[in-house]
Structure 1
Amino acid sequence: MMYRLLCLFLLTATHAAAVETCHGDTACQVGDRSYHVLEPDGWDGETPLPVLLHFHGWARQGAVVVNHERIAGATKLRGVLLVAPNGLRKTWDFWTSDTDDVGFADQVLADVALRYPIDPERIYVSGYSYGGAMAWRFVCQSGNDTTALLAVAGSIRQTEDCPQAPREVRHVHGTDDTVMAFPFGPDGDTTYPVALWRAKYDCNGATPRGDWSVEPFLTLTRVEWTDCANGRVTLDTHPGGHFIPHGWIGRQLDELLGRIPTYP
């Protein structure tokens, strides 16, 4: 009993110190770099937390992510710990495999695990725009066994050879995106944005899942690949431009966590 009380005391003390030194707008230091972290609403301080590692867009920082309604607003309500690394010069080096940013993000996750009890079976990796591309690069190369990729309007080249992959991929992109242009395939193929993962998982035919929306002004069309040797791929497309669709991150987390999808 004394040992269990001591462990509880140490966990509580470690958590209290973590919150005191860095949380929300106050960044956590990892060497000469940093990241932001945001706890979910109502967390009891003990239950292991799923993690959403989210890479910010170009010219942003992690402080934007932990205050973003469509990102932090989703994690806070679903018991998910939000982790938002800060890119050097407010950007990410995702263009080739020769990048230090993957190793930095690995260090961030290791540091988070020292500060919080995390659920290693529920590590989700996300990002928007340049951050979406960085999320692709991370799951392509990281030494971490990530559960799912949740990428928004950004990717690496579909012809790249990834040495590893997450257990599941979910991607959303607007066909009218002119910032990180929608990667149409041959003959205007709208399933090409996830061609890399379909090949990596050795997936067969696509299954249309129909349209869905959480706001009346934007309809998303879903296609899934479940007949794969490894993994699973989900693609949502919409006719809009370069943005995070309302409710998209929340819906993905709900589905991954086995919850009934809700909005917000």
Structure 2
Amino acid sequence: MSLPRILILLCVVATLAAGENLKPGDYTFFVEAQGRTRSYLVHVPRSSNGAKAASVVLAFHGGGSNGRTMITFSGLNDKSDEAGFIAVYPDGTGRRSEMLTWNAGYCCGHASREDVDDIGFVDKLLDDLSRRVSVDPNRIYATGMSNGAMMCYRLASELSNRIAAVAPVSGPMGTETCNPKRPVSVMHFHGTDDKFAPYAGGRGDRSLTQTDFLSVDYSISAWVKANGCPERGVTTKEPNRANDGMIVTRTAYGPGRDGAEVILIAIRGGGHTWPGRDCRLAFLGKSTHDISANDLMWDFFQKHPMR
């Protein structure tokens, strides 16, 4: 083979290795996992030019929802454009495309009953994404709402070789144990008046599932231990910026092994909502504007790349 052809081949291989460098915009992609065709949505921020490997935030929708709904519910595309990370919205499984769930352990719905391998799906999704755009493998993070929050916890435990840190919102652990291969920092947001995934655990008065949820305290304690953090946390109160009748406290545990942290953001009076976002569904409860979950989790993620 001639030298020019060899050089061309090397350039092609290098380009493939670096990803396709998708232009800013919104995309839908598909991967095969466990004999199923699975989908995920991608938002490439306006500032992206493909020259630098990007951070990724996986955002998992709640049970009975889908990735497209999660875009609106969380408002993470706006934060993506501001901060420059790639936002990814995976779709769960189910009989109806608008009512999908995640197999987060003992919950929820179709995905749990059918024992769907959602960990394997996310693993393949990340491989596929890395072929399409330049991704920083040390800065892949996960957040999620409700059943999606529970999925974050499972990923932190079972895919800790790829997930740097997680920020679950309104959902506890979906398994009784966590066994990460490396410390995974956690920032958990939860309202004390959550009627779907109760703060204290048990069955939610308004939950569509009969799941007996683990408590927030159980989830936090499990990850404090897993990350080797001090058992006693330091609690501070967030400023009352919105005067919305809710009180937000931050309890920080750490540093643990490799600088890991576990932080609980408790919203006294808060419901099954995404802090900082307006909630148009009154039955979900109140949503505080004293804080922005998107701002806090992104600041947290930046401090905790893969080590």
Name whichever of 225-234 and 167-176 sits farther off: 225-234
Do 2:161 and 2:181's aligned partners in 1 also have CA atoms closer than 8 Å? no
Task: Please name the residue that 2:89 is paired with.
Answer: 84
State the SS of the aligned residue for 1:36: strand
Aligned amino acid, residue 45 of structure 2: P
Residues 215, 115 of structure 1: alpha-carbon distance in 2 compared, 3 angstrom cutoff: farther
- Asked if 2 retains the 8 angstrom alpha-carbon contact of 1:51 and 1:81, the reply is yes
Pairing 1:202–2:228 present: yes
CA 1:190–1:142: 2 relative to 1, 3 Å: closer
Superposed CA offset, 1:20-47 (max 9, x none): 9xx63x5201021110000112212222
Q: Look up the match of 2:165.
A: 148
Structure 2-normalised TM-score? 0.71
State the percentage of identical aligned residues.
27
TM-fit CA distance, 1:109 = 0.9
After superposition, the CA RMSD in angstroms is 3.1
Give the Cα separation in 2 of the matches to 1:161 and 1:73: 32
Residue in 2 aligned with 1:167? 184
Asked whether the 8 Å contact 1:183–1:193 carries over to 2, the reply is no
Contact 2:73 2:274 in 1 (8 A): no
Distance 1:225 1:13 in 2: 37
Q: Distance in 2 between matches of 1:111 and 1:43?
A: 19
Closer, same or farther in 2 for the Cα pair 1:9/1:66, shift >3 Å? Answer: farther
Query: Is the alpha carbon distance of 1:131 and 1:163 closer, same or farther for their aligned partners in structure 2, counting shifts above 3 Å?
Result: same
Asked whether the 8 Å contact 1:70–1:244 carries over to 2, the reply is no
Distance in structure 2 (CA, Å) of the matches to 1:214 and 1:109: 38
Report the count of equivalent residues: 249
Quote the Cα distance in structure 2 between the aligned partners of 1:238 and 1:137: 23
1:243 is aligned, of 259, 273, 290, to: 273
> CA, structure 1 residues 8+76, in 2 after alignment: closer, same or farther (shift >3 Å)?
farther
Distance 2:243 2:235 in 1: 21
Distance in 2, Cα, partners of 1:74 & 1:214: 20
**Residue 213 to residue 244, structure 1, CA distance change in 2 (3 Å):** farther
Call closer, same or farther: CA 1:162–1:9 in 2, change over 3 Å.
Answer: closer
Task: Measure the CA separation in 2 of the matches of 1:165 and 1:212.
Answer: 34
> Residue 151 of structure 1: SS of its match in structure 2?
strand
The match for 1:35 is 40
DSSP-derived class of the 2:83 partner: coil
Matched-pair contact (CA < 8 Å) for 1:49–1:118:
yes
Unaligned runs of 5+ in 1: 259-264
1:102 corresponds to which of 107, 110, 119: 119
Q: For residue 223 of structure 2, give the secondary structure of its aligned residue in structure 1.
A: helix
Q: Which residue in 1 is equivalent to 2:154?
A: 137
Superposition TM-score, scaled by structure 1 size: 0.82
Q: Distance in 2 between matches of 1:87 and 1:194?
A: 25
CA separation of 1:232 and 1:100: change in aligned 2, threshold 3 A: same
CA contact 2:104–2:175 (8 Å) conserved in 1: no
Shift of 1:56: 0.7
Partner of 2:21: 15
